[in-house]
Amino acid sequence: MKTLHCPNCGTPFVRVTSNEGTVERLLSRFNMLPFRCQLCTNRFRAFYSGARQSTQAFDRRQFKRLPASIEAQVLDDKQLPFTNRITDISMDGCTLMMTGLSKGAFLELVLKPTSENEEIRIETAMVCSVHPTSVGLRFLEVDEPDKRRLSQVVLGLLVSQSHHPAPNA
């Protein structure tokens, strides 16, 4: 079977995602599966006869987190700006090495990727998980120019990790 591509942006970096509703569950029985583009975030359905990866069934994320090392400045109303490191990232969120934030907290981030000259501003991110040395963030508000720059960073990470993307990856 040929590689699936996003109908919106044409990239082969797509991932099977979870079904939403009864209709999608029914369609999945006939190999009509929901996919999420890892770059433009487009959600679409397509016929795919390949089996889902068994590990993806446990991963609720629609976007694959990619290992990274990106400097991020945290802007918080309650304290002075400080810089930490992002250890993985996707179009939807990241893991930030830091402590002291509680689940549900909102903050603003300024990412400083080494491959880009311009910063990427995440207007609003929410703490979704708290770990002993890190927090999991979900990006809620990203302006379009920053979203495009973020997709270029994610594309670079995807290309460096795999020359032949698979829909299950």
Please return the burial class of 159, using the count of CB atoms within 10 Å of its CB with bins 0-12, 13-18 and 19+: exposed
Q: How many Cα atoms are found within 13 Å in the side-chain-facing hemisphere of 131?
A: 9
Per-residue pLDDT of the chain (169 residues; tens, 9 = 90+): 468 899 999 999 998 888 888 888 888 788 888 999 999 999 998 988 765 543 344 456 788 889 999 999 998 766 667 788 999 999 999 999 988 888 999 999 999 987 556 899 999 999 999 999 999 999 999 999 999 999 999 999 988 887 545 555 5
Distance CA 11, CA 73 (A): 30
The pLDDT of residue 59: 58
In this prediction, residue 128 carries a pLDDT of: 94
- Neighbouring residues of 112: CB distance < 8 A, sequence distance ≥ 6: 70, 71, 72, 73, 119, 120
Dist CA 11 CA 74 (whole Å): 31
Pairwise CA distance, residues 134 & 114, whole Å: 21
pLDDT at residue 103, as a whole number:
94
pLDDT of residue 44: 93
DSSP result, 93-161: EEEE---S--TT-EEEEEEE-TT-SS-EEEEEEEEEEE-SS-EEEEEEE--HHHHHHHHHHHHHHHHHH
- Which tokens sit at 50? 């390949």
Give the chain's domains with CATH numbers: 14-62 (no CATH), 66-160 (2.40.10.220)
| Rounded Cα distance, 121 and 119, in Å | 6
Residue 53 has a pLDDT of 46
